[in-house]
Chain A
């Protein structure tokens, strides 16, 4: 039984049936990570990973059952795992060690997972290319001259290159879906509140979520079932029942109403992804789905809305990094003001500083109402528009990105061009809805393109069903 040919679900089954040991599976993936150091997808392989895997093998022999029993997992560098570093891709947190487990880590450990490594990311998750990490750029799994996307670029590149069966990412404006699209893998941003954010280093608290990145859709549904559920430490997390997502994958789209957004039809024209997008709609229709014309009139305002809300919240969240409590203090600081100013100036990178400045601009007196309050009201208007649209359809289908992964460095000098990378993904963060990216079709040099399925809040089941169907009809990049 070849480990890398197994899906996450099959690997979990094989380990629980003791056909493969957790030790062998973990060792296999650690060796894969060592072989592909050139990608710089993985920042650290945890030194106790193999011991933990051995412990799991003992537990499994003694009857332990868990959905991830003995399964190796990678986490993004902003997710806390007690006793392990979590540097958030930043120099500021270079030596920060987590003092407690995030809810998602605890849930995975309870399910028997062996968390064996942490993955690179854009600094404080601010970026769309994993080029802003203090620990160096990560490369695309399929073409190392290109970006892996971001900010969860390390996680997506690791899954794409077969360095792990699953990795966790976080998504504030597309940071799971865009890199998933670029690396030919599957990534979901769940409904806001579906997964607890407790123990995840905060960027823009009102719109971000943790989600899994996997090689295929069913693996993704299986993994999300482990992660969902409320936490008493996160007031925004949902305490409602946890559904089975796998059982909602029916292998059919017959009778489903697929929303075709007028604004996407206009926005997609001329982009590389246009053919894949139209092929997807055609294929769904040929297989019994009904295409319904819908509209979110203010769709084009989702991007500027995001670039007000996200920096404003980031500014507040990053206020805690003051050189006193966490990790880094400038050695040159002589008084308290210098501790703040010098520690922050030396600890944060350029993009983080840019967003803190922008956040303070939109929050400062004279501008607060014009920008932040207006953006929050606009967000509500967009939510209302989407609710009307979802009365007429079960989900929207739209592209994940305009084209295939771009070349390293191609956009790093142009912040607005980089921000526009998130054109199609930001909507789901603003609406708080679930959205998945699944590979469908190819672009330049045979590289993958991604299609998104977005449904109303808590309808992850619909999203998975449609994504699984799309994958079955042409997910050339589905590896397993």
Chain B
């Protein structure tokens, strides 16, 4: 079984995709950890699944509700958990000059 190798560039790429910042030491520490975890999950990569197909894992019995408009949460309540709001909106720093 071939062992999946991870490079520091791969870890940096994943950190970017994950929107996470790490120190150089933390990034390096991911390599052996990841390789160990990948050794575990590589068993799936290499297994024989025969003719098994992708299917919904949820029950086929489920159905959708009637498409009827209902009252939703008030705007003020939705904004209550936001760290910064302005005039009824989520507020972030200026994106364009």
Chain B contact residues, CB within 8 Å of chain A? 10-11, 13-15, 17-22, 30, 33-34, 36-38, 40-45, 47, 49-50, 52-55, 57-59, 61-65, 73, 77-78, 80-84, 90, 92-93, 95
- A328 interfacial contact with B, CB 8 Å: yes
| Chain B residues with CB below 8 A from A370, complex form | 45
Given A353-B20, A378-B44, A380-B55: A239 in contact with B82 (beta carbons within 8 A): no
A339 near B44: Cβ-Cβ < 8 Å: no
Interface residue SS majority, chain B: loop
Given A341-B21, A378-B52, A381-B49: A371 in contact with B58 (beta carbons within 8 A): no
* CB-defined A-B contacts under 8 Å, sample of 28: A97-B81, A99-B77, A238-B61, A303-B40, A304-B40, A305-B44, A308-B44, A325-B81, A325-B82, A325-B90, A333-B93, A336-B95, A342-B21, A344-B20, A353-B22, A354-B30, A357-B34, A358-B34, A361-B14, A361-B38, A362-B41, A374-B44, A374-B47, A376-B57, A378-B47, A384-B52, A415-B36, A419-B40
Size of chain A's interface in residues, with CB distance under 8 A?
71
Minimum distance in angstroms from A128 CB to a CB of chain B: 15
Stretch at the interface among A142-150, A212-220, A229-237, A277-285: A229-237
When chains A and B are docked, how far (Å) is the Cα of A324 from the Cα of B13?
Answer: 23
When chains A and B are docked, how far (Å) is the Cα of A307 from the Cα of B38?
Answer: 9
Minimum distance in angstroms from B89 CB to a CB of chain A: 10
| Chain B residues with CB below 8 A from A99, complex form | 73, 77-78, 80-81
- A477 interfacial contact with B, CB 8 Å: no
- Contact partner of A97 among B22, B45, B80, CB < 8 A? B80
| Chain A residues with CB below 8 A from B34, complex form | 357-358, 361
Chain A contact residues, CB within 8 Å of chain B? 95-97, 99-100, 192-193, 206-207, 230, 232, 235-240, 298, 300-301, 303-305, 307-308, 315, 322-329, 333-336, 339-342, 344-345, 348, 353-354, 356-358, 360-362, 364, 370-371, 373-381, 384, 415-416, 419, 432, 457
| Chain A residues with CB below 8 A from B90, complex form | 324-325
| Chain A residues with CB below 8 A from B92, complex form | 324, 336, 339
- Contact partner of B73 among A100, A235, A376, CB < 8 A? A100
| Chain A residues with CB below 8 A from B20, complex form | 341, 344-345, 348, 353, 356-357
When chains A and B are docked, how far (Å) is the Cα of A449 from the Cα of B25?
Answer: 40
